[in-house]
Structure 1
């Protein structure tokens, strides 16, 4: 777990990297989750939430919501992380204010997968 790339590094020169590899985000995120246990993934959820809260770009918010969903799949639980409960309104505020149609849809899908309103 300690050898893991810091999540915020995904945003360094992301436009350039995306031009070179259209699956840049997927590959970066996969590198993070590939060796995670379900418990590690669950503990990682607040890290992802923290990054979502900093974003002001609709496209990046959508990518990060998708990643949150992927981390939850690795965690293999429908238990809603306490930090997610605590930050739900803030996340929805960020998505409402800065998100695009895709990120809004992605968050709806994510909540539906957890059976969470």
Structure 2
């Protein structure tokens, strides 16, 4: 009989990973937003696009659901989302299935910092 992964790893608990189509995630580009990060404007890296096309997104991003706008905001992992958007364009053009981005909720963020 298979063991529970908590027991196998000696973890204190486990949670679910959410899966998102990258176009359903909101990248904050407004300079005055409290969660803005200037790295959102970095250019795409061709090697990263190709890597995501081949392997998908291997590390989960961090998201927060904004109760005011209803948008799912990307807190960490902006580059993974941007590169997956580009990878999906190329995959769709080739007639291949598009990718999903794994994400975990940032429950410690209940409202953006002032």
Fold conserved between structures, TM > 0.5: no
Greater Rg by CA? 2
Higher-helix-fraction structure: 1
TM-score, normalization by structure 2? 0.32
Higher-strand-fraction structure: 2
TM-score, normalization by structure 1? 0.31
Q: Higher relative contact order by CA 8 Å / sep ≥ 6: 1 or 2?
A: 2
